[in-house]
């Protein structure tokens, strides 16, 4: 974790105007300097006086740190101003610190070197933010900043509209994943499916027009495609789409299609019912029984009337939602068109005999 950002050195508090110390305490030097300088002279030669000059009223907001931390402090503040040198001097000599003469000389020499290097750099604007470079972070023992996380999976809506031979309004998605190749593979699949439906309705409209030249007697063909994303992650993508097509008659046809893709690296493969269970035949039968029981509760007409007693071959239109697997039955599968589609939800925890590889995908559907 990188060192936190620090405002530029111009934001440091200015040197306070030292006032008289009501209780300076005992001074080990019997002959103190009558005019102590709060900013030590950056003289490389050690002071023969063993007693350092001390600010009579040190700034209580400053933190005294040992000499080895000065280099880290200088690296952190970046371009330095006069008050920064005063800050380094106070770090050396305030708060009761009394280094030896040789140590003081080394520290003053380091201070002089910092002053020379700082003066040769351009001054940073007062409102700038100084960020610790990786090399400085390594020098102070701080770990490098973590890499920025990859962008989350997301969908880009795509709409195709045409009114030539038929009225077409097809909406689907372009998929963006951490793996561009996997996202592009899913996007290509969805676009191919949508445009195949468009080509089919336009072909049917052209055929109808060639058989009957009377425009007034010919119905206007139309196609509407809409899709609902339910799980979109870098491990699993699951959508449900509805296709409404009209080519004459009392009403349009309505079907549901679902798309489930397992993403592994740069590949994305469709997930079918046989991919979920160790024994696909037993898994299909168990899922069919669970759906049939819920359809009875929903009073689907043809199930309640006993016309439909087995739906195991109708459970392939499924998608995933958080915590559950959802099966959609289109009109005319378990009831008349007036009932619309029937939707059955089965908790993932209730599915038995799942393949071990499904555990990774199941984690993407919490």
Co-location of 124 and 162 in the same domain: no
Of 84, 105, 139, the residue at which a domain comes to its end is 139
Q: Is residue 22 assigned to a domain? A: no
Largest CA distance in the chain: 121
The SS3 of residue 259 is strand
Closest CA relative to residue 337, chosen from 229, 238, 250, 257: 250
| 222-232, strands of its sheet edge to edge | 154-162, 167-176, 222-232, 236-246, 253-264, 267-270
> Please, are residues 322 and 366 in contact by the beta-carbon 8 Å criterion?
yes
Co-location of 289 and 246 in the same domain: yes
Co-location of 94 and 190 in the same domain: no
Co-location of 75 and 192 in the same domain: no
Q: Is residue 267 assigned to a domain? A: yes
Co-location of 185 and 269 in the same domain: yes
For 72, the token pair is 């880290």
Q: What is the pLDDT of residue 112?
A: 46
Rounded CA-CA distance 227/238 in Å is 10
Co-location of 250 and 284 in the same domain: yes
Co-location of 197 and 87 in the same domain: no
Of 116, 139, 162, the residue at which a domain comes to its end is 139
Tell me the β-bridge partners of 324: 321, 347
Let me know the angle formed at the C-alpha of 201 by 337 and 187, rounded to the nearest 5 degrees: 95
Give me the residue label for tokens 């003081």.
104
Co-location of 97 and 162 in the same domain: no
Q: Is residue 23 assigned to a domain? A: no
> Please, are residues 58 and 24 in contact by the beta-carbon 8 Å criterion?
no
Q: What is the pLDDT of residue 52?
A: 47
Co-location of 173 and 233 in the same domain: yes
Q: Is residue 147 assigned to a domain? A: no
- Residue-number span of the structural domain to which 70 is assigned: 6-13+30-139
Instruction: State phi, psi for 287 to the nearest 5 degrees.
Output: -65, -40
Rounded CA-CA distance 120/130 in Å is 18
Co-location of 135 and 161 in the same domain: no
Q: Is residue 120 assigned to a domain? A: yes
Under DSSP, the state recorded for 262 is: E
Rounded CA-CA distance 191/82 in Å is 65
The SS3 of residue 175 is strand
- pTM attached to this predicted model: 0.59
Which residues, other chains included, contact 317 with Cβ-Cβ below 8 Å and sequence gap of 6+?
Answer: 256, 257, 258, 327, 328, 329, 330
Rounded CA-CA distance 96/86 in Å is 17
Which residues, other chains included, contact 28 with Cβ-Cβ below 8 Å and sequence gap of 6+?
Answer: 51
The SS3 of residue 298 is coil
Rounded CA-CA distance 25/209 in Å is 108
> Please, are residues 327 and 343 in contact by the beta-carbon 8 Å criterion?
yes
Helix pair angle (69-77, 101-119), 10° resolution: 10
Q: What is the pLDDT of residue 216?
A: 65
Co-location of 312 and 347 in the same domain: yes
Q: Is residue 145 assigned to a domain? A: no
The total of structural domains in the chain comes to: 2
Rounded CA-CA distance 327/257 in Å is 10
Phi-psi domain of 96 (left: phi exceeds 0; alpha: psi -120 through 50; beta: other): left
Rounded CA-CA distance 46/55 in Å is 19
Co-location of 203 and 303 in the same domain: yes
Of 114, 139, 164, the residue at which a domain comes to its end is 139
Query: Each residue's pLDDT tens digit in the chain (366 positions)?
Result: 443 343 333 344 444 444 445 454 444 444 544 454 544 454 445 444 545 444 444 443 333 333 334 344 344 444 444 444 444 445 444 444 444 444 444 444 444 444 444 444 333 333 322 233 333 333 434 444 444 344 589 999 999 999 999 999 999 999 999 999 999 999 999 999 999 999 999 999 999 888 866 666 678 999 999 999 999 999 999 999 999 999 988 899 999 999 999 999 999 999 999 999 999 999 999 999 999 999 999 999 999 999 999 999 999 999 999 989 999 999 999 999 999 999 999 998 888 888 987 866 777 787
Domain at 227, CATH number: 3.30.565.40
Q: Is residue 123 assigned to a domain? A: yes
Q: Is residue 24 assigned to a domain? A: no
Rounded CA-CA distance 275/130 in Å is 54
């Amino acid at each position: 974790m990188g060192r936190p950002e620090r405002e530029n050195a111009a934001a440091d508090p200015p040197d306070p105007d030292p006032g008289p110390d009501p209780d300076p305490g005992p001074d080990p030097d019997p002959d103190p300097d009558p005019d102590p300088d709060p900013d030590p002279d950056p003289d490389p030669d050690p002071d023969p006086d063993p007693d350092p000059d001390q600010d009579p009223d040190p700034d209580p907001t400053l933190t005294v740190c040992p000499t080895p931390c000065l280099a880290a402090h200088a690296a952190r503040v970046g371009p330095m101003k006069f008050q920064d040198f005063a800050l380094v001097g106070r770090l050396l000599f305030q708060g009761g610190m009394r280094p030896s003469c040789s140590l003081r000389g080394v520290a003053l020499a380091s201070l002089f070197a910092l002053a020379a290097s700082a003066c040769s750099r351009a001054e940073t604007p007062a409102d700038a933010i100084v960020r610790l470079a990786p090399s400085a972070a390594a020098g102070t023992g701080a770990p490098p900043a973590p890499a920025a996380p990859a962008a989350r999976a997301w969908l880009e809506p795509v709409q195709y509209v045409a009114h030539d031979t038929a009225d077409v309004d097809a909406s689907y998605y372009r998929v963006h994943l951490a793996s561009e190749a996997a996202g592009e593979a899913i996007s290509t699949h969805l676009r191919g499916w949508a445009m195949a439906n468009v080509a089919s309705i336009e072909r049917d409209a052209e055929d109808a027009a060639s058989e009957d030249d009377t425009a007034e007697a010919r119905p206007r063909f139309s196609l509407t495609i809409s899709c609902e994303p339910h799980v979109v992650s870098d491990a699993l993508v699951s959508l449900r789409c509805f296709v409404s097509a009209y080519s004459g008659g009392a009403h349009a046809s309505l079907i549901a299609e679902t798309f489930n893709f397992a993403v592994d690296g740069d590949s994305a493969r469709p997930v079918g019912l046989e991919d979920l269970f160790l024994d696909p035949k037993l898994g299909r039968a168990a899922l069919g029984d669970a759906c049939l029981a819920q359809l009875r509760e929903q009073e689907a007409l043809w199930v309640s009337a006993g016309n439909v007693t087995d739906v195991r071959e109708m459970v392939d239109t499924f998608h995933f939602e958080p915590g559950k697997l959802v099966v959609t039955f289109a009109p005319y599968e378990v009831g008349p068109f007036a009932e619309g589609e029937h939707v059955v939800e089965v908790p993932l925890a209730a599915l038995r005999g799942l393949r071990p590889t499904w555990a990774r995908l199941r984690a993407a559907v919490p």
